[in-house]
Amino acid sequence: MSLAEVREFIELLAKENPNAQSELIYTTPYTLLVAVVLSAQATDASVNKATEKLFEIASTPQAMVALGEDGVAQYINSIGLWRAKSRNVVALSAQLIELYKGEVPGKREALEALPGVGRKTANVVLNIAFNQSTMAVDTHIFRLGNRTGLAIGKDVLAVEKALVRRIPKDLLRDSHHWLILHGRYICKARKPECWRCPAPKICHYPDKILTP
């Protein structure tokens, strides 16, 4: 996909979904961070269901530490890896209190040093909470990038770097939302709904499904 096609592709996704945003429910950078940590190998819907009650009890690092691992586990045991996530959420909350006075840092290195926070989680938080032009590549964006020719890479880091390099700077910050929603609901893994895609002529996927 040429750079001109990349711009057109992203602009068409933007036109189709101009108000795209995260489907995770949060109110602060801290609750966003916790929700993203919990979302690993879990759907946004399942995370929202768990955090609806969790955040009523603990929406700050101090309250989360007071709740403790067992307390957190009671609210999130419906999602995958809940034991490890309970441990990480309490541990990262304690570190936020100790190192950052309970605030979420706006730097990648600081975020990735927190328990349970990897590059993708850091990218999401930096993008949404701090308005930085980062690109969090999940399975949907990885698949979409390689399938369409938008950004080809053997691993998520390669695709991330290709997207950051190829997407115009004026579109980059919001592209994460446009791409993830497109991959989640239209450019699906098993049966992409190409007939719903706003940019089928630009997409390089050879096996398009153009009828329902």
Chain segment 95-153, per-residue pLDDT in tens: 999 999 999 999 999 999 999 999 999 999 999 999 999 999 999 999 999 999 999 99
Q: In the chain, what are the domain boundaries?
A: 3-19+134-196, 29-130
CATH of the domain spanning 3-19+134-196, picked from 2.40.50.180, 1.10.1670.10, 3.40.50.300, 3.20.20.120: 1.10.1670.10
pLDDT at 210: 87
Of 112, 7, 113, 115, give the one whose Cα is nearest residue 124. 112
pLDDT in tens, 16-35: 999 899 999 999 999 999 99
Is there a catalytic annotation at residue 44? Answer: no
String of b and e for 116-147 (b: at least 16 CB within 10 Å)?
bbebbbbbbbbbbbeebbbbbbbebbbbbbbb
pLDDT at 151: 96
Catalytic-role residue among 44, 49, 85, 138: 138
CB atoms within 10 A of CB 18: 9
Six-digit token string for 137: 């590549």
Is there a catalytic annotation at residue 138? Answer: yes
Span of 21-25, 62-66, 109-113, 208-212 with lowest mean pLDDT: 208-212
Catalytic-role residue among 53, 70, 101, 120: 120
Q: Look up the CATH number of domain 29-130.
A: 1.10.340.30
194 is in an annotated binding site: yes
Distance between CA 166 and CA 185 in Å, rounded? 23
Q: What is the pTM of this model?
A: 0.91
203 is in an annotated binding site: yes
Residue 170 burial class via C-beta count within 10 angstroms: exposed 0-12, middle 13-18, buried 19 and up: exposed
pLDDT at 212: 87
Phi-psi label, residue 68: left if phi above 0, alpha if psi -120 to 50, beta otherwise: left
Mean residue pLDDT across the chain: 96
